């Protein structure tokens, strides 16, 4: 792994805090999905998300869970989502934003993006709400905006629409841990806020997530659901369906150690973004996605570039000539093979050629998330689109930005990109 520059890998603290907390879990035999590290990690997270730069007094609560996907699932459940309901969700996202809607027997209603942040378009959101009410006779049960690659969504407009129609918001800030809107941490605006600590996120617990709750009552409800909905009897009594979604005490120990370096990790991502901007500013046809204005404060979890469709890249004529075998970028669990190199919506050939050039140079790069409304599994789901997410999917690429990426790595990546361009 040391000879390859990866997109975003976990990085442990220099003083080994993670190992100390994990060792403590083993030494005290707290190797279960609860315990002192879980409680301590939740307290650390609460201090972090309630520390705002705009003088807003917050007292949100946090429940540590086994995954960000579990957090989305339980948030929707607590919003009352069930069979036959609809949920408005951003289309330009990873599938973990929308799959939990289907777990509950509900239907995702996909909403396209606006051009500035690449996130949920507020105007399309309101259009979708009005149209669903007209078509179904009832409003969607929840709204799920997403902090794509860490970039904040238009919080003010989305929250105003949600309040206008009385629809709860589940903020999917899984990629946006530490990102802020007007100084306030994402995930603290809606009824619930989703965080992820997967191995490639801003901080990691190896696998894990959390749900930000506005009230103690909501936190207790989520904790109840996440521990199999057990009732207060000396034996196992269940009056509702629950889930085994609590974070383990061992993984929480890693999280406690990671919280000691979270500010440094965020600062490092921002510094690398600034360096990409500086080094690529005079390269025609390539742009770095940046904060649209001062209200946005992205953590730049992943740094993304767009390539002008007219840009020519070495090897472009060979793009999509071979069927991919297995997973791109080391993604686990890809066991289904395909015999077709193309789909009806894919990155442009110059983007795929650039990915292949970087891969050959030992640099991991990936396409942007393919919009959910273009995924075959959701072909029958309602979608309100304007072409924005499809456009950026076709021209965008993610480049390395994690805490293990050095400034010299960035310089090498940029030189590789420049050398790949045909003048």
Tens digit of each residue's pLDDT (9 = 90 or more) over 41-50: 999 999 999 9
Q: What integer is the mean pLDDT of 195-207?
A: 95
Whether 117 and 197 map to the same domain: the answer is: yes
* Cβ atoms 91, 390 nearer than 8 A: no
Of the three residues 261, 285, 317, the one that is the final residue of a domain is 261
Question: Which of 245, 261, 277 represents a domain boundary (last residue)?
Answer: 261
Q: Average pLDDT, stretch 7-16?
A: 90
In this structure, the answer to whether residues 134 and 189 fall within a common structural domain is yes
Q: Confirm whether 1 is domain-assigned.
A: no
- Please give the structure tokens belonging to residue 63: 């429940």
5: in domain: no
Token couple for 189: 């605006």
pLDDT band at 254 (very low <50, low <70, confident <90, very high): very high
| Pure H helices in 9-168 | 17-27, 36-49, 68-78, 99-103, 122-136, 155-165
CA–chain centroid gap for 422, Å, is 34
Average confidence score pLDDT of the chain: 95
345 is in which domain, residue-wise?
Answer: 263-420
Among residues 236, 261, 286, the one where a domain terminates is 261
164-194 pLDDT per residue, tens? 999 999 999 999 999 999 999 999 999 999 9
Q: CA of 260: how far to CAs of 26, 176, 263, in Å?
A: 21, 18, 8
pLDDT tens profile 276-327: 999 999 999 999 999 999 999 999 999 999 999 999 999 999 999 887 766 5
State what percent of residues in the chain have pLDDT above 90: 91
Residue pair 307/325 in contact by the 8 Å Cβ criterion? no
What is the pLDDT confidence band of residue 1, given thresholds at 50, 70 and 90?
Answer: very low
Q: How far apart are CA 287 and CA 331, in angstroms?
A: 26
Total domain count for the chain? 2
* CA–CA distance, 364 with 397 (Å, rounded to integer): 11
Assess if residue 407 is contained within a domain: yes
On whether both 227 and 319 belong to a single domain, the answer is no
42: in domain: yes
5: which 2 tokens? 């520059």
pLDDT score at 340:
76
For residues 186 and 173, the answer to whether their CB atoms sit within 8 Å is yes
Q: Is the pLDDT of residue 202 over 60?
A: yes
Determine the 3-state secondary structure of 228 from DSSP: coil
The size of the chain, in residues, is: 423
Share of the chain above pLDDT 70, in %: 96
For residue 329, pLDDT over 60 is answered with: no
Same domain, 288 and 241: no
């Amino acid at each position: 792994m040391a000879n390859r520059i990866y997109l975003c890998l976990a990085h442990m603290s220099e003083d080994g805090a993670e190992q100390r907390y994990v060792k403590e879990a083993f030494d005290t035999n707290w190797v279960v999905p609860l315990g002192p590290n879980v409680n301590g990690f939740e307290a650390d997270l609460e201090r972090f998300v309630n520390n705002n730069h705009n003088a807003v007094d917050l007292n949100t609560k946090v429940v540590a869970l086994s995954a960000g996907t579990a957090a989305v699932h339980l948030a929707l459940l607590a919003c009352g989502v069930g069979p036959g309901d609809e949920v408005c969700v951003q289309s330009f996202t990873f599938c973990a934003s929308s799959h939990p809607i289907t777990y509950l027997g509900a239907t995702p209603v996909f909403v396209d993006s606006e051009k500035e942040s690449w996130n949920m378009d507020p105007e399309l959101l309101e259009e979708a709400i009005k149209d669903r009410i007209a078509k179904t006779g009832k409003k969607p049960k929840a709204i799920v905006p997403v902090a794509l690659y860490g970039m904040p969504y238009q919080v003010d407009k989305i929250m105003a629409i949600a309040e206008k129609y009385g629809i709860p918001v589940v903020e999917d800030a899984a990629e946006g841990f530490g990102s802020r809107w007007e100084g306030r941490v994402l995930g603290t605006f809606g009824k619930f806020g989703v965080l992820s600590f997967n191995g490639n996120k801003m901080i990691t617990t190896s696998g894990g997530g959390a749900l930000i709750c506005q009230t103690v009552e909501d936190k207790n409800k989520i904790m109840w659901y996440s521990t199999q909905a057990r009732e207060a009897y000396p034996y196992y009594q269940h009056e509702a369906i629950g889930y085994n979604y609590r974070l383990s005490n061992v993984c929480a120990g890693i999280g406690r150690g990671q919280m000691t370096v979270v500010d440094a990790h965020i600062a490092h991502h921002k510094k690398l973004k600034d360096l990409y901007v500086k080094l690529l500013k005079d390269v025609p046809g390539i742009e770095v996605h940046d904060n649209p204005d001062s209200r946005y404060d992205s953590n730049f979890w992943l740094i993304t570039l767009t390539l002008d469709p007219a840009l020519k890249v070495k090897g472009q004529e060979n793009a999509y000539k071979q069927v991919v075998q297995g997973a791109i970028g080391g993604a686990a669990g890809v066991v289904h093979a395909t015999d077709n190199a193309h789909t009806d919506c894919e990155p442009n050939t110059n983007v795929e050629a650039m990915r292949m050039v970087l891969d050959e140079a030992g640099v991991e790069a990936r396409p942007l998330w393919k919009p959910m409304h273009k995924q075959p599994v959701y072909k029958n789901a309602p979608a309100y689109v304007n072409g924005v997410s499809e456009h950026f999917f076709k021209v965008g690429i993610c480049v390395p930005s994690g805490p293990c990426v050095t400034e010299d790595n960035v310089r090498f990546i940029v030189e590789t990109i420049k050398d790949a361009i045909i003048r």
